[in-house]
Amino acid sequence: MDPAFVVFLLGVLIAIIAIAGHLIAIILILKHVVNRLNIILGAVQAVTTTAQPVEAIIDDINADLGAGRKLMEDCVARLEANAAPPAGTAASDPARHPEDRHATNGPGGGTATAAPPARADTEGQGQHPEEEWPPQDRPSPNPPPSRLWRR
C-alpha cells in the first residue's frame, strides 16, 4: 500500500472518531435534559391533581361574594331612599342660618374679615425678631469639609 493512502485512511479514521465523540457528548446531554423534564413533568402533574378541588372552593367564594354584593346594593338603595327629600320640597342648606345675609361661594364660603398675618421686617430672621439665625447653640448638621477629610 502506498504510504499516502495509509495517511489518508488514518485521517478519515481520526475524523470519524472525533465526530462520534461529539455525538456521544450530545447524546449524554440530551439524556440529562430528558431526565430533568421528566422530574418537572411529575411535579406539574402533582400540582394539577392538588389544585383540582380548588375550583369548587372558588365557585363557593364567588357565590358568597355575589350574595354580599346584593345585600350591599339593597342597603345603599334603602339609604338613598331615606336620604332623599320629599318630592314637593326644595333642598335647603342646613349649615346656613336663615338670617345669614352673606353670600356663600361654596362650602365654608362667606366674607373674610380677618387680616393676613404680619410679615417680619428683618431679613434672615425667623418668626421672632429676637432670635439669632442660624441658632448658635446647636451644631450645624453639615460640618465643614475640613472636618470631613482629616488625615
Domain containing 70 equals 53-84
The number of folded domains in the chain is 2
Instruction: Answer yes or no: do 45 and 60 share one domain.
Output: no
Residue 52: its pLDDT value, please? Answer: 78
Burial 81-91 (b: 16+ CB within 10 A, else e): eeeeeeeeeee
Last residue of a domain, one of 33, 61, 84: 84
pLDDT computed for residue 28 by the predictor:
97
10-residue stretch averages of pLDDT, the chain, 151 residues long: 93 98 97 96 90 81 86 90 68 55 53 57 53 60 58 50
pTM above 0.75, yes or no: no
CA distance 87 to 85: 6
8 and 40 housed in the same domain = yes
Same domain as 14, residue 48: yes
5 and 18 inside one domain: yes
Q: Is residue 4 part of a domain?
A: yes
Which pLDDT score, from 0 to 100, does residue 30 have?
A: 97
| 101 CB-near residues (< 8 Å, 6+ apart) | none
Contact assessment for residue 76 and residue 69, using Cβ atoms and an 8 Å cutoff = no
**Are 65 and 38 members of one domain?**
no
Contact 10, 17 (CB under 8 A): no
Distances in whole angstroms, Cα of residue 39 to Cα of each of 25, 47, 52 = 22, 13, 21
Residue 39 placed within a domain: yes
Instruction: Give me the pLDDT at residue 31, please.
Output: 97
Same-domain status, 79 and 35: no
Measure CA 115 to chain center: 46
In a domain, 89, yes or no: no
Residues 80 and 64 in one domain: yes
